[in-house]
Each structure stands twice: as structure tokens, then as C-alpha cells.
A = this chain, B = another copy of it.
Amino acid sequence: MKFNNSNVSLSPSAKIGKNVRIGDNTVIYDNVVIGDNTVICNDCQIGEPTGAYYKDSDYVNPPTIIGADCLIRSHSIIYASNTIGDHLITGHHIMVRTGNKIGHHSSIGNFTELHGDAVIGNYVRLHSNVCICEYAVVHDYAWIFPGTILSNGVTPPGNLLLGPEVGPYTVIAVNAVLLPGVKIGANCLVGASSVVTKDVPEFTVVIGSPAKNMGDIRNIQSKETGGAYYPWPNHFDRGMPWQGMDYNTWLSQQNQ
């Protein structure tokens, strides 16, 4: 019973790729571009306009680019002016405000929101109920687990907003908070419910509120093998470009 093409509202100015499917009750607003084979599920708002749309008769919706082979699940809202790469997979009820740039092969979990003007790399995993503030930067292969908040208000409320930065391969556990402007290096691990108040160098584990340096991530043992677990790409490949091959082999191929 796939989609019924029932009650879909599709702007005449939207450019829809080949084999795109759009769910029931979904609205595609003006100037949205959707790549081939992408699926937009039911009850979504794609290219959602800002508040000006309701006031200004001459409002023009800025372009929204969604790549090919994406899967946007039901009840999701993606504002106009976002640029999203290929192979994005989302959960339900995601909320993406204006001006974000999202790479390819990334994912966004249920109820997760991007407040705008963030830069999200490739193969990034934003789990459910994550809050990404404006101007945040999340690098390739980073993982952010449920309930974590990246914040940017230095003296709230105010106009001085500094987005935090999460390095490549870094893992932020559940319910953590990154304070404005902190930079977390590559291959770090931030513990559950930690509050990160200052920069974290690469390969570092931090835990607590305020988060304290607990040592080198490469000292964490695998519960399965007893050897070092991190960097995690040596032990986990699902959905990653090195899936089915050794990470180091893949890496050496990239560097050729």
C-alpha cells in the first residue's frame, strides 16, 4: 500500500528528481529541489518558510536542496534554505531550521532539532532528541547520542553566540551539554550527562560537570576482546564507508 499520493501539496516551483516518492499530507514548498530516489514520508513540511511568509506578500522562499537517496521520515520539518547531501536518513519528528549545511550519509534521529546555520559533516550520527544550536560545527564520523545539547549563548539572552565544535570520530554520550564555543578534538569521548566547559584535546575522555580529563581514550578496553576499543572505527563499521573491510585498509586507500 506504499504511498497513496493523497493530499500531497507540491509547489509548482519545486524540482523533484526521478523516482522520488512523497507521502500523504506532506507539503513541499516553493523552490525545493529533491534528488533522485529520495523518499519523503507522510505529514512532512519541506522547505518550510520563515515567519515572514505569513506577513509579507512579496516573500520569496529561498532554495532548499535535498540530495539523492535520502529518507526523510514522517512528521519532519525542514525549513527553506538548508542544503542537505545525498543519503541522509532521518527519524520522525525532526526539526531543521534555516541555513544548515548537512553532508552526505549522515543521519538525524527522532525529535532532533538543528536551530540553524550549523555545519554537519559526512557520516555524522545525530541520535534522537539532540539539540544542535546555531553555528555549531560537527565533523565527519562524529556521534552524538540522545538528549545532548550544544549551546551557544555566552551571556544569555544576548547576541554573542558561539557554536561549539565536535571533532571527527568523536563520541558524545547521552544527556551531555557543550557550553558555548568549546572545541572538542578528534577521537574524544564525552561521558553521559557531562557539561563540557572548556576545550578538549584529541583522544581525550572527559566526564562530569564540569567535565574533567579522565585520560586517553585508547586506554579504554573492549569488554569483548580485552584489547583497546578506540579509535572505534577499528571495531565498528555499520553504515560506514569501510563496512566489510578493515578500517586501516580503507584509510590507506583514501590517502593514496
Chain A contacts to B: CB under 8 angstroms: 1-2, 4, 6-7, 9, 11-12, 21, 24-25, 27, 29-30, 39, 42-43, 45, 48, 51, 53-54, 71, 74-75, 77, 89, 91-93, 95, 110-111, 113, 115, 125, 128-129, 131, 143, 145-147, 149, 151, 153-160, 171, 173-175, 177, 179, 192-193, 195, 208-209, 220, 222-224, 229-230, 232, 235-236, 238
Task: Tell me whether A155 and B195 are in contact (CB under 8 A).
Answer: no
Q: Separation in Å of the A36 CB from the closest CB of chain B?
A: 14
Asked whether A175 and B155 contact (CB < 8 A) given A74-B77, A77-B75, A77-B92, the answer is: no
Alpha-carbon separation in the docked complex, A52 to B33 (Å): 24
Task: Tell me whether A1 and B25 are in contact (CB under 8 A).
Answer: no
Copies in the complex: 3
Task: Tell me whether A93 and B95 are in contact (CB under 8 A).
Answer: yes
Partner of A145, one of B77, B110, B156, B160: B156
Task: Tell me whether B155 and A223 are in contact (CB under 8 A).
Answer: yes
Q: Separation in Å of the A9 CB from the closest CB of chain B?
A: 6
